[in-house]
């Protein structure tokens, strides 16, 4: 996808990744969507903003990405409250558009699904908490409201409602199964139970204080969110973090990826009844988290990445310690991988469970780790690299089977690749500076940040207000694209396999519900 081919006036955004931005009008809105799809691009995110305090109406924004480039479009709506529906071209847009309706009251024209998505009765259907007129803290307590699940009828069809309260201590989501016997005919998700108004809260932040909030959007991806946020701020402020800082950021991001993958690999074994895997991988993960605590001051690396650089540094002894850790991890993981690969019972559960074919993945815009397991060879570290990834020649892990086994193997491959990157980074940590404070950002500017978190691309869109304040900030988790695909992945599988398939995607609740 070449930004010039989109035939709208786009200007390059300053910042660490190749991103373009421009305004468009309603007719071009869906034409561009089609053109992006034709050129192999995919929808990254869709959001709206209320610009009434600037004397304008609301604006819709969309971000697309393809190999090597990202394009963001803004559609000023003026007095209107509708905009053209993108979901026929990019199905992933459907839920994002429903969320925009819940939060800003803007309706995708022609969209058939008018049910709420993130709204659970904490505010009335006509209200829009992201409007500037809506007071902070104006939302009430969520309460149960009727929700029209798609009914399934037929001989022997049985309905199983699961969640949002589960038998284990896990995050809340509702899953409505329609089954015949044990076989799943249809699954419908209902999310939004952890909506806490993060986007509204960002509007009270300055560019500085927003970093803390960004690091708390989704605890398991705190480095990715903090980096994406910092990238957006640095782009707007037109500064470049020191070389040492970006290398340390990459090191932290890879550590986050390894720790999460280790946790998931163990949990996947456990969900298949192989508790040995869980204890072994948990042990490795715990050791890593303790090293994080002692070297970077936080087990999950919260608040280490800040706009302008990082809040940590490594001495020579620390570097040796991390090298030794990488060697130990590599040996242990190789042994465990052999056990997983050769365990007939485990492989029987993994193989052919929850298949997403590459065709379906392409159609629905599956992205990130789950996408790479279904042949979608897109990795922001390869296809839209910021420094230092542009010099590390990262090898994306790609599989084509699209089943649980493929997602397990992508995790194993990515852990190995992350260890390789870790060593490269440790060998060549440049310079001494770790932070360049961003200073004053221009008013009413727009910036983006995107990094490959362990789940997939984490995207942050930043609209600055006056005096270094945030006018609107939209964080986007790849789970938005991947949750709907899970509904497809389980069709035809049996009910007891759902937890395993779900775990193999391991999608975010907090990062999605915001």
Partner 1 sequence: MNEAIAIQVAKTILVVLLAPLFTGWVNQCRAWLQNRRGPGLLQPYRALRKLFHKDAIVAHRASFLFRATPYIRFGSMVLAASIIPTLVTGLPIAPAADVIALVGIFALGRVFMALAAMDIGTAFGTMGARREMLIAFLAEPALLMVFFTPALISQSTSLSTIVHTLAYQPFVIHPGLAFAALAFLMVLLAENARIPIDNPATHLELTMIHEALMLEYSARHLALMDWASNLKLLAYTTIGVALFVPWGIARAVDGSAIWVALLCLLAKLAAAGAALALLETLSAKLRIFRAPEFLAMAFLLAVLGLLTHVLLEGAA
What does the binding site for partner 1 look like in residue numbers (CB under 8 A)?
158-162, 166-170, 182, 269, 271-276, 278-280, 283, 343, 345-346, 348-349, 494-499
Q: Strand 82-84 relative to strand 107-109: parallel, antiparallel, unpaired?
A: parallel
Q: How far is the CB of 157 from partner 1 (least distance, A)?
A: 13
Residues 300/453, Cβ–Cβ less than 8 Å: no
Using alpha carbons, select from 190, 236, 233, 241 the residue that is nearest to residue 215: 233
Using alpha carbons, select from 220, 132, 169, 243 the residue that is nearest to residue 472: 132
- Which is nearer to partner 1, 42 or 498 (by Cβ)? 498
- Which is nearer to partner 1, 311 or 343 (by Cβ)? 343
Task: Report how far apart, in Å, the C-alpha atoms of 115 and of each of 80, 143, 146 are.
Answer: 21, 16, 10
- Which is nearer to partner 1, 193 or 274 (by Cβ)? 274
User: What's the rounded Cα separation, in Å, for the pair 352 and 489?
Assistant: 11
Using alpha carbons, select from 74, 191, 367, 106 the residue that is nearest to residue 98: 106
Q: How far is the CB of 262 from partner 1 (least distance, A)?
A: 15
Q: Strand 69-78 relative to strand 82-84: parallel, antiparallel, unpaired?
A: unpaired
Q: What residues pair up with 306 in beta bridges, in sequence order? A: 309
- Which is nearer to partner 1, 291 or 495 (by Cβ)? 495
- Which is nearer to partner 1, 124 or 334 (by Cβ)? 334
- Which is nearer to partner 1, 87 or 502 (by Cβ)? 502
Q: How far is the CB of 288 from partner 1 (least distance, A)?
A: 17
- Put the strands of the sheet holding 69-78 in their side by side order: 11-13, 19-23, 69-78, 58-66, 42-50
- Which is nearer to partner 1, 193 or 205 (by Cβ)? 193
Q: What residues pair up with 435 in beta bridges, in sequence order? A: 309
Residues 177/160, Cβ–Cβ less than 8 Å: yes
Task: Report how far apart, in Å, the C-alpha atoms of 52 and of each of 107, 128, 242, 306 are.
Answer: 17, 13, 37, 30
Q: How far is the CB of 229 from partner 1 (least distance, A)?
A: 34
Q: How far is the CB of 194 from partner 1 (least distance, A)?
A: 19
User: What's the rounded Cα separation, in Å, for the pair 500 and 33?
Assistant: 34
Q: How far is the CB of 281 from partner 1 (least distance, A)?
A: 11
164-195 exposure pattern, b = at least 16 Cβ within 10 A, e = fewer: beeeeeebebbbbbbbeeeebebbebbbbbbb
∠ CA(227), CA(232), CA(234), 5° rounding?
Answer: 90
Residues 75/59, Cβ–Cβ less than 8 Å: yes
Q: How far is the CB of 491 from partner 1 (least distance, A)?
A: 15
User: What's the rounded Cα separation, in Å, for the pair 73 and 129?
Assistant: 23
- What is the sign, positive or negative, of the torsion defined by CA atoms of 348, 349, 352, 358? negative
Q: How far is the CB of 506 from partner 1 (least distance, A)?
A: 14
Q: Strand 174-180 relative to strand 157-162: parallel, antiparallel, unpaired?
A: antiparallel
- What is the three-class DSSP state of 346? helix
- Which is nearer to partner 1, 93 or 490 (by Cβ)? 490
- Which is nearer to partner 1, 342 or 427 (by Cβ)? 342
Using alpha carbons, select from 7, 85, 75, 73 the residue that is nearest to residue 39: 7
- What is the sign, positive or negative, of the torsion defined by CA atoms of 100, 105, 106, 112? positive
Phi, psi of 477 (to 5 degrees): -100, 140
- Which is nearer to partner 1, 56 or 347 (by Cβ)? 347
Using alpha carbons, select from 193, 102, 122, 187 the residue that is nearest to residue 149: 187
- Which is nearer to partner 1, 135 or 167 (by Cβ)? 167
Q: How far is the CB of 503 from partner 1 (least distance, A)?
A: 9
- Which is nearer to partner 1, 88 or 499 (by Cβ)? 499
Q: How far is the CB of 326 from partner 1 (least distance, A)?
A: 22
User: What's the rounded Cα separation, in Å, for the pair 185 and 83?
Assistant: 34
Q: How far is the CB of 163 from partner 1 (least distance, A)?
A: 9
Q: How far is the CB of 461 from partner 1 (least distance, A)?
A: 36
- Which is nearer to partner 1, 162 or 377 (by Cβ)? 162
Q: How far is the CB of 377 from partner 1 (least distance, A)?
A: 30
């Amino acid at each position: 996808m070449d930004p010039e081919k989109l035939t709208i006036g786009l200007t390059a955004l300053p910042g660490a990744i190749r991103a373009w931005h421009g305004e468009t009008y309603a007719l071009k809105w869906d034409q561009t969507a089609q053109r992006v799809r034709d050129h192999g691009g995919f929808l990254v995110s869709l959001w709206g903003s209320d610009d009434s305090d600037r004397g304008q109406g609301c604006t819709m924004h969309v971000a697309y990405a393809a190999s090597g480039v990202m394009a963001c479009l803004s559609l000023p709506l003026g007095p209107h409250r509708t905009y053209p529906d993108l979901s026929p071209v990019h199905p992933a847009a459907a839920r994002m558009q429903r969320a925009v309706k819940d939060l800003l009251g803007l309706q995708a024209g022609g969209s058939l699904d008018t049910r709420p998505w993130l709204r659970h009765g904490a505010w009335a259907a006509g209200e829009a908490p992201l409007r500037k007129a809506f007071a902070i803290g104006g939302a009430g307590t969520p309460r149960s409201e009727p929700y029209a699940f798609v009914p399934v009828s037929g001989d022997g069809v049985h309905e199983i409602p699961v969640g949002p309260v589960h038998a284990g201590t896990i995050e809340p989501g509702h899953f409505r199964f329609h089954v015949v016997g044990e076989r799943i005919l249809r699954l419908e998700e209902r999310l939004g139970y952890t909506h806490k108004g993060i986007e509204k809260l960002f509007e009270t932040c300055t560019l500085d204080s927003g970093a803390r909030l960004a690091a708390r959007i989704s605890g398991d991806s705190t480095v990715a969110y903090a980096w994406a946020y910092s990238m957006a701020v640095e782009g707007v402020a037109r500064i470049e973090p020191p070389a040492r800082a970006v290398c340390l950021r990459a090191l932290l991001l890879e550590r986050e990826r390894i720790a999460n993958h280790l946790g998931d690999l163990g949990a996947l074994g456990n969900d298949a009844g192989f508790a040995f895997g869980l204890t072994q991988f948990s042990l490795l993960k715990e050791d890593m988290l303790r090293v994080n605590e002692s070297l970077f001051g936080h087990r999950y690396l919260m608040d280490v990445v800040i706009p302008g650089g990082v809040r940590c540094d490594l001495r020579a002894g620390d570097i040796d310690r991390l090298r030794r850790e990488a060697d130990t991890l590599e040996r242990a993981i190789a042994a465990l991988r052999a056990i997983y690969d050769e365990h007939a019972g485990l492989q029987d559960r993994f193989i052919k469970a929850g298949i997403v074919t590459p065709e379906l993945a392409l159609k629905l815009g599956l992205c990130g780790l789950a996408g790479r397991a279904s042949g979608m060879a897109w990795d922001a570290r390869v296809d839209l690299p910021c420094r230092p990834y542009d010099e590390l020649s990262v090898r994306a892990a790609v599989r084509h089977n699209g089943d649980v086994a493929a997602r397990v193997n992508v995790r194993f491959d990515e852990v190995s690749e992350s260890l390789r990157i870790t060593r490269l980074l440790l060998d060549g940590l440049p310079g001494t500076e770790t932070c360049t404070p961003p200073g004053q950002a221009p008013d009413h500017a727009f910036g983006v940040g995107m990094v490959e978190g362990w789940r997939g691309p984490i995207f942050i869109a930043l609209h600055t207000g006056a005096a270094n304040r945030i006018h609107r900030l939209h964080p986007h988790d790849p789970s938005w694209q991947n949750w709907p695909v899970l509904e497809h992945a389980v069709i035809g599988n049996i009910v007891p396999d759902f937890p395993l398939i779900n775990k193999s995607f391991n999608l975010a609740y907090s990062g999605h519900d915001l």
